[in-house]
Structure 1
Amino acid sequence: MDRFCGVRVVQVARGQNRHADSLAILASSLTEEVPRLIKVELVDEPSINARVSVSLITTTEPCWMDPIIDFLAEDQVPADEKEVEKVHQAAAWNWLLADCKLYRRSFKGPYLQCLHPSKIEELLTELHEGVCGSHVGGRLLAHRAMTQGFWRLQMQKDATEYARKYYFTKRVEAEALANIRDVNVKKFVWRNIVRRFGVPESLALDNGLQLNSKAFDEYCSSLGIKNKLEAAKGRWAEELPNVLWAYRTTPRRSTGKTLFSLTYGAKVVMPTEINLCSARISGFSPAESVELVVSKLNLLEEHRESVTIRLVEYQQKLARRDNRDVRRKEFSVGDLVLRKVVGNNRNVNAGKLAPTGEGPYRVTAITGT
């Protein structure tokens, strides 16, 4: 101690001295027969080849399908007599698959897969705003869900509430303006949209100068309104395939068919059918699918012919509806008539209030009936 210049004693906390304590305890507890060399072996791979299987178990809440499934699968009925009668009536319209999936008989077409309430949100989201989404209203959204092979007890109500919740739109009437400037557009938006329906989330605008001006952009930004087409600017090449896919897979009202079915003779498989595992996906067989596609291609011409006949009938119905208010009037020689101004005969400097007819002219002869 005399050789040191100084000695300093510092107390070390127990938490900071665990390593030294462990070595001291180990050294004092060892006997002479036990070697003081401790070997540490690092095992990179397990010594046995046992495989551990992990199963995902999901629990679903009770729903309206459970009593029907219990009755069809195990012939179990509820304790309430009124509920028993309801189950018997519902069972006549349903069919149970081997994997306990419930299907409902439809008035037109194949059986429809009954969906659990927890799956409705996924279905409507895909049909409304997914790859094949067309942003339709509640009534057409429910119709699309059923055409894809899915059914729910309150499908119409759920689809309507979904359309109102996520993409609720309002349409306002047009207003005639002498000059369309950004000032007039701001007044129109404030008077006909904001004051009547509140501040919208977004507006779908074209590339008009009065709509694409800096003043109108600042006005919309001050109200918190987004331009719906602004985010997609410059990405039309990426968005075009999704738009075309939605257009080609949506049934036309005039024909009742999709452009995809008229081209290939088969119904398209939607992403919702794959995610929700519809009957077509669960029972898919590549060999049978190829055989069915080839057989439908042989009948494609007949299918297109029937669609053409339906299109003509639809056009005739539209013509009869549009012409029902038309009053037929016959003219005689000597009557005064006005001729409709069309094409190059219209005065472009007169504006929107220009007359639509010119004359009068006198009928001199009748050339046909």
Structure 2
Amino acid sequence: MGIRAAIERKIKVLEVYGDSTLVIYQLKGEWETKDPKLIDYQKLVLELVKEFDDITFHYLPRDENQMADALATLASMINVNRQEDVKPIQMSIYEVPAHCYNIEEDEEKDDHPWYHDILQYVKNREYPDQASKNDKRKLRRLVIDYVLDGDILYKRRKDQVLLRCVDAVEAKKILEEVHEGVCGTHANGFTMARKIMRFGYYWSTMEGDCVNYAKRCHKCQIYGDNIHVPPSPLHVMVSP
């Protein structure tokens, strides 16, 4: 389609870029064409090439062709019936995700914990700045499972047990104590998450953070294959 469009505009010198190694090198004559479908395609393109004074084919890696892929995806999502319906599309590229959850202390650049928006709505019925109508609806649906007691926010589980919401600093301390503290057993991430919830604490990315913390534990990596060898000395616990 692009070559035919160039012929209609009476273009005589053309450079063609494609992200398909097979098609580009077959059109350049460096690779042999054996597929019957591609043979017909090659014949058609070679006939169209005769209309140009100079035409060259270049291979473009897909990593360098992300904008074309994005435009092709947008084109497949739009149904256009008339030429007048086509309007310019404004695109902007963000260097960082629009929204993410992370308990790392240095990631919280706005000095607010992950539950700040929930706390403000439960306490003062205030929405975040520049929140859309959809964001407000999601926030109202989300706060149903949260309870405020004084200045402490709690997450209500399905069994009506309240879990205290903690920020990044507290979450980091809890991970260290549960995994490798005095009573820590160097459990895997999912076991750690369930244990933390039994202790009465909660944060939004608790399960994923527990899994990542267990993966980065040096002792767990060393003793991972020795299933009967404890990674640290065991502490005897006597019941009262």
For the superposition of Structure 1 and Structure 2, which TM-score range results when normalised by the shorter chain?
0.3 to 0.5
TM-score calculated relative to the size of structure 2: 0.47
Question: More strand per residue: 1 or 2?
Answer: 2
TM-score (norm. length: structure 1): 0.31
Higher RCO (Cα < 8 Å, 6 or more apart): 2
